[in-house]
Amino acid sequence: MASPRISNGTNEETNNIISSLNFGTTEALSQIRNLTDVGAMTRYLHECIAYQRGIDLELETLLSSKTDLEKKLNNLSKSAQVLELVKMDSDSMLSNVKTTCNLADQVSSKVRELDLAQSRVSTTLSRIDAIVERGNCVEGVKKALGAEDFENAARFVKTFLEIDSMYKDSGSVEREELLNSKRVLEGIVRKRLGAAVDQRDHSSILRFVKLFLPLGLEEEGLQVYVAYLKKVIAMRSRLEYEHLVEVMEQGGGGSEVNFIGCLTNLFRDIVLAVEENDEILRSLCGEDAIAYAIIELQEECDSRGSLILKKYMEYRRLSRLASDINSYSKNLLSVAVVEGPDPKEIERYLDEILSLTQLGEDYTEFMVSKIRGLSSVDPELGPRATKTFKSGTFSRVVQDIIGFYVILEEFFMVENVRKAIKIDEHVPDSLTTSMVDDVFYVLQKCCRRAISTSNSNSVLAVLSGAMNLLSNEYQEALQQKMMEPSKLFLGGVGVQKTGTEIATALNNMDVSGEYVLKLRHEIEEQCVEVFSAPADREKVKSCLSELGEMNNSFKQVLNGGMEQLVTTVTPRIRPVLDSVGIISYELSEAEYAENEVNDPWVQKLLHAVETNAAWLQPLMTTNNYDSFVHFVIDFIVKRLEVIMMQKRFSQLGGLQLDRDVRALVSHFSSMTQRTVRDKFARLTQMATILNLEKVSELLDFWGENSGPMTWRLTPAEVRRVLGLRVDFKPEAIAALRL
């Protein structure tokens, strides 16, 4: 029994060996020799036979490709012969390339030598040409000077100097001769130019100034030419100024003494001098010449322009006039004691000053923009030129004259506002008196004129004066017009006249508030256009904020006057309201139906309102009449709430109250353009509560269930209104959670 187990173990081992045999190797042969099992040997024999057959097939395949391999081998042998030939050819080509390279190097060297020789020849020829040309220049200058052909002489000098800068030859006799000729030419040009300037021969001046450029004296030429332009402008300005003084001494009228024309001509001459001579200036020193000319000519503006403005101030005696105004009233807003200067004459002076300052502003703006438009100017010249305009003598004199302008403008404004207040009268077909339009026309005119000066300080000064006038004298005048409204119904047949006066006074206040806002808006828009500096805009904006406060002040006074007017009307309405107290709202169906046919009190109340209030509508502004109606509504609503809280209601009574309130809302809505529903909101909510079927229905309209409705009644008031229903039990009302 033990042998089979051993045999089985041996068989398993043998199977493992056979399965791992690799025929054709030494290891396989050694393993086969160790086999003892016949079955394994048999299987191995079959596998070996199969392996042998596979080798035979592979051998046959290899033998079948013998012919192809032999052909390829023959081809390779032939290719080897070809490669030998190629190698020989490539060696030959390499030799040729080396030979060609050496030849190219030799040719390139020769070419470089030829190029160098050619360059030297060219330089030599140029040198010879320069020597010849220099000789021609020397001879040409002499001949041109002899013939007074200065343009050609200058060109010869320029050509010689260009040649001389290229080929230095300080010891050349020709150079000394030409430099002598150049000095002679310079002397002639300077002399002839000076004579032309003295004779004001513009064509000759242009001729000789252009010669400074080829002579290398462009800066000197620029200075001479700009000095000539200054001289021409000064001469013209002096003649006009002398004529101006002559007319003044002869006692000429204001129309003959034309300061504006004199200053305009000065500015025009300066601008034309820059514009018309742009080409010649640029030809001398480029854009730097433009900046230099502007700076130099501005000196003439500072000199002559300042003289004109000072003479104007002297002619109009502005200093004395300002002193007279100050003595006339230390405070321009106080009441005058003695008669001051004529405002009409002052206005003429103001227009003249404005024209003069606007001329200066337009001229300065044009010239500064001209400077800023120069792109390649010397970095130091641009700021220097701009500073010349901002801090020059002319600018300082303009500031002086603007100081006088402010004094005159404030005087003109105060006097005309006072005059408008003094001659105030009713204007046919107008809801306001003449004072309102006249005062704001004067203020608007003065503020516009101040803004036109383009000076923020003058604008602030005039604005301050305007606001002082509005808040003091003008507001006092408005309040004086608002007579005691209690006199409204004391005039008998004069009620209409008295009502018109009261309504007009209230209209004056209302329209004045609107005009204040319009004036503020207009000034803001104009200042944005005129003042580019944020600091100036902020100053004006800060000052204008006081106009908004003034509008609020007018509204407060207006509301006070409106309340007084309402107190004169409400006593005539109160009896009708008091009669509501005796009307019962504990209605049966028959009584409810009767009230629908014969209204117990609403129509009487509306008739009383129409009789005592509606007649004022055509006399009032829309805003005032709406405010008046709302004041009347406030009185009626408050009185009705008190009365209704003292009554008892049935459900039909609640319906009756709802109908009454709706009738009031409908009628008053037709009387005013403003909404009135919010005025009757509490009464409407009282009617809603009194219409409920039962107490618990209130919760359908309360709290989260209220929807868009906002309750105006407090929880305590709601309980009180519920208690007005005769059929609601106090226990149910008390149980409500509100």
Is there a domain that residue 369 lies in? no
CATH number for the domain including 686?
1.20.58.1970
The per-residue pLDDT for 133 is: 59
Fill in the amino acid letter for 45: L
Averaged pLDDT, 77-105:
83
Averaged pLDDT, 582-586:
93
Question: Looking at per-residue confidence, does 22 or 312 come out higher?
Answer: 312
Is there a domain that residue 344 lies in? no
Predicted confidence (pLDDT) at residue 140 exceeds the cutoff of 80: no
One domain for residues 520 and 446:
yes
One domain for residues 607 and 706:
yes
Fill in the amino acid letter for 146: G
Predicted confidence (pLDDT) at residue 134 exceeds the cutoff of 70: no
- Residues 193 and 190: their CA atoms lie apart, in Å, by 5
What H or E segment, with its residue span, contains residue 334?
Answer: none
Domain boundary at 163, 197, 216, which? 216
Per-residue pLDDT reduced to its tens digit, 363-394: 988 888 888 877 777 767 667 777 777 778 89
Is there a domain that residue 550 lies in? yes
Question: Looking at per-residue confidence, does 133 or 435 come out higher?
Answer: 435
The per-residue pLDDT for 128 is: 63
Spell out where 469-563 has E strands. Answer: none
Predicted confidence (pLDDT) at residue 668 exceeds the cutoff of 90: yes
- DSSP letters spanning 632-643: HHHHHHHHHHHH
Region of residue 251 (left: phi > 0; alpha: psi -120 to 50; beta: else): left
Burial 185-194 (b: 16+ CB within 10 A, else e): bbebbbebbe
Tokens in use for 253? 């009228």
Predicted confidence (pLDDT) at residue 77 exceeds the cutoff of 80: no
The per-residue pLDDT for 417 is: 93
Q: Are 181 and 145 in contact (CB under 8 A)?
A: yes
One domain for residues 440 and 552:
yes
Count the neighbouring beta carbons within 10 Å of the beta carbon of residue 66.
9
Question: Looking at per-residue confidence, does 109 or 406 come out higher?
Answer: 406
Region of residue 148 (left: phi > 0; alpha: psi -120 to 50; beta: else): left
Averaged pLDDT, 551-576:
89
Is there a domain that residue 570 lies in? no
The per-residue pLDDT for 684 is: 94
Averaged pLDDT, 267-280:
89
Is there a domain that residue 408 lies in? no
Q: How confident is the model at residue 90 (pLDDT cuts 50, 70, 90)?
A: confident
One domain for residues 609 and 635:
yes
One domain for residues 99 and 167:
yes
Burial of 662 (0-12, 13-18, 19+ CB in 10 A): middle
Per-residue pLDDT reduced to its tens digit, 344-361: 999 999 999 999 999 998
Q: Which percentage of the chain shows pLDDT scores above 90?
A: 34
- Residues 620 and 261: their CA atoms lie apart, in Å, by 51
Predicted confidence (pLDDT) at residue 408 exceeds the cutoff of 80: yes
Averaged pLDDT, 601-616:
91
**Which one, of 573, 521, 578, lies nearest residue 544 by Cα?**
521
One domain for residues 445 and 535:
yes
The residue to which tokens 């909101």 are assigned:
681
Is there a domain that residue 592 lies in? yes
Long-range contacts of 159-162 (CB under 8 A, 24+ apart): 159/133, 160/134, 161/216
One domain for residues 560 and 429:
yes
Q: How confident is the model at residue 680 (pLDDT cuts 50, 70, 90)?
A: very high
Question: Looking at per-residue confidence, does 467 or 29 come out higher?
Answer: 467
Domain boundary at 532, 565, 598, which? 565
One domain for residues 8 and 53:
yes
Q: How confident is the model at residue 167 (pLDDT cuts 50, 70, 90)?
A: low
The per-residue pLDDT for 187 is: 75
Total domains, the chain: 4
**Which one, of 413, 386, 431, 523, lies nearest residue 470 by Cα?**
413
Tell me which of 98-112, 250-264, 291-305 is least confident: 250-264
Q: How confident is the model at residue 497 (pLDDT cuts 50, 70, 90)?
A: low
- Residues 627 and 623: their CA atoms lie apart, in Å, by 6
Which of 220-224, 381-385, 586-590 tops mean pLDDT? 586-590
Which pTM was predicted? 0.70
Predicted confidence (pLDDT) at residue 445 exceeds the cutoff of 80: yes
Question: Looking at per-residue confidence, does 154 or 194 come out higher?
Answer: 194
- Residues 685 and 709: their CA atoms lie apart, in Å, by 10
Per-residue pLDDT reduced to its tens digit, 281-290: 888 888 888 8
What H or E segment, with its residue span, contains residue 393?
Answer: helix 393-422
Predicted confidence (pLDDT) at residue 15 exceeds the cutoff of 50: no
Predicted confidence (pLDDT) at residue 517 exceeds the cutoff of 80: yes
The per-residue pLDDT for 146 is: 61
Tell me which of 218-227, 250-259, 668-677 is least confident: 250-259
CA-CA-CA-CA dihedral for 689, 694, 697, 699, to nearest 10: 80
Tell me which of 212-226, 302-316, 473-487, 611-625 is least confident: 473-487
The residue to which tokens 């109340």 are assigned:
605
One domain for residues 103 and 53:
no
CA distances from 159 to 123, 211, 254, 352, 556 (A): 18, 13, 61, 58, 89
One domain for residues 588 and 551:
no
100 is in which domain, residue-wise?
86-216
Spell out where 514-572 has E strands. Answer: none
Q: Are 480 and 433 in contact (CB under 8 A)?
A: no
Burial 422-446 (b: 16+ CB within 10 A, else e): eebeeeeeebbbebbebbbebbbbb
Q: How confident is the model at residue 248 (pLDDT cuts 50, 70, 90)?
A: confident
Domain boundary at 194, 216, 238, which? 216
The per-residue pLDDT for 255 is: 54
The per-residue pLDDT for 123 is: 65
Dihedral of alpha carbons 387, 393, 397, 403, sign: positive
One domain for residues 545 and 651:
no
Helices (H) and strands (E) in the chain, counts: 28, 0
Is there a domain that residue 339 lies in? no
The per-residue pLDDT for 1 is: 34
Mean pLDDT of the chain: 83
Question: Looking at per-residue confidence, does 216 or 571 come out higher?
Answer: 571
One domain for residues 553 and 589:
no
Is there a domain that residue 252 lies in? no
- Residues 689 and 575: their CA atoms lie apart, in Å, by 28
How big is the chain by its Cα radius of gyration, in Å? 57
Predicted confidence (pLDDT) at residue 18 exceeds the cutoff of 50: no
* Helix/strand/coil for 248: helix
